Structure 1
Amino acid sequence: MKDGRGRLFYVIGPSGAGKDSFMLEVRKQLGSQVLVAHRYITRAASAGGENHVELSDEEFRLRQQLGLFALDWEANGHRYALGCELERWLASDVDVMVNGSRASLHRAQARFGEQLVPVMISVSPDILGRRLRTRGRESEDDIVRRLERARVQSRGLPDSVWRLDNGGPLAETLRQFQGYLQGAG
């Protein structure tokens, strides 16, 4: 970036849209341009999904009290946080990507200002429902609630959101992201 400050690509989207797969692809293909940061979560690291640092509730609270998180939130029965280390990376002109929370987007924007670039990963409701059923983690009632939540949360996003359709091959989703990068200069 020209102003000497990195950008924070704040990835949001419904569970099952492929955020983790997209971010893994960014790490593989664009790792020299974008640093993909981990989150701190009160969920077992062996639960699958993203690479994260597992914390007990007590460890999470202690780190929170010590001011070691740049942003934290609760969702789906777990606590999530982004470490304060990413503020140093951004100050060092490094572009960073994190798996964020749609519900905490307003707080993230207040914290990071113009450095924050919201990136919405989405798929059609049919594809999302199929993916959620295939992974087998939720009941049908839970899936219906997630589909409704995804519909509601996709509305009212700021105009600055980079919208990526992840309904096809990951390579295509990555091309969409690279198109935004080139346009943002």
Structure 2
Amino acid sequence: MNSGTGRLFYVMGPSGAGKDSFMQAVREHFGARLLVAHRYITRAASAGGENHIELSEPEFSTRQALGLFALSWAANGHHYAVGREIESWLAAGLDVMVNGSREYLPQAQARFAERLVPVMICVDSETLGRRLRARGRESEADITRRLERASALTLALPAGAWRLDNSGALSDTLRQFRRYQQALPA
């Protein structure tokens, strides 16, 4: 790749949509062609879900004050960040994928401009509800709120966002991603 031509695939989606599974599959199938960045989160690494770097609140604050994060935000009672290493990877011409926040998308777009490719992992409401119930972490009222929020935020995405339907097999979602990726200008 040419120096400085890397793209930042900014993955979003509701809890239960399968973002972590999708990103793990990208790691396994795309290897060196697409780097998947770890997030720094003020949540225990043993809490399940994505493979992330656990930071205490003071550690997070210190790193943020030192300017070590390319992106950072707060959501769901935790702080999240992506390290500045992604800037080096992009400058070297590598494509990078990060697990982002739908609400932080405008700030990420402002920072990375045309390099940023918004990718929404979508799931039909029935599948999403079934997945959320199977986790057993939320009440039925919480699940209803999550389903409503997922629908509203999916509709509010910018026109150029890639929408990947992850209601079926993960291999189908990867094929959708490949089709979008192949259509990008060189």
Counterparts of 1:1-185 in structure 2 under 5 Å?
A: 4-185=4-185
Residue 132 to residue 52, structure 1, CA distance change in 2 (3 Å): same
Residue 2 to residue 160, structure 1, CA distance change in 2 (3 Å): farther
- Whether the 8 Å contact between 2:3 and 2:92 is mirrored in structure 1 is no
AA at the equivalent of 1:19: K
Query: Which runs of structure 1 show a deviation greater than 6 angstroms over 4 or more consecutive aligned residues?
Result: none
Determine the C-alpha separation between the residues in 2 that align with 1:2 and 1:117: 18
Determine the C-alpha separation between the residues in 1 that align with 2:73 and 2:140: 26
CA RMSD of aligned residues (A): 1.1
Determine the C-alpha separation between the residues in 1 that align with 2:167 and 2:136: 19
Determine the C-alpha separation between the residues in 1 that align with 2:91 and 2:8: 11
- Report deviation, 1:4: 3.4
Name the SS of the counterpart of 1:74 in structure 2.
Answer: strand
Determine the C-alpha separation between the residues in 2 that align with 1:153 and 1:2: 35
Q: TM-score, normalised by structure 1?
A: 0.97
% identical aligned pairs: 67
Determine the C-alpha separation between the residues in 2 that align with 1:157 and 1:2: 30
Could you tell me which runs of 5 or more consecutive residues in structure 1 were left unpaired when the two chains were aligned.
none
Q: TM-score, normalised by structure 2?
A: 0.96
- Whether the 8 Å contact between 2:3 and 2:91 is mirrored in structure 1 is no
* Deviation by residue 1:28-49 (Cα, 9 ceiling, x = unmatched): 0111211010000000000011
AA at the equivalent of 2:87: E
Name the SS of the counterpart of 1:184 in structure 2.
Answer: coil
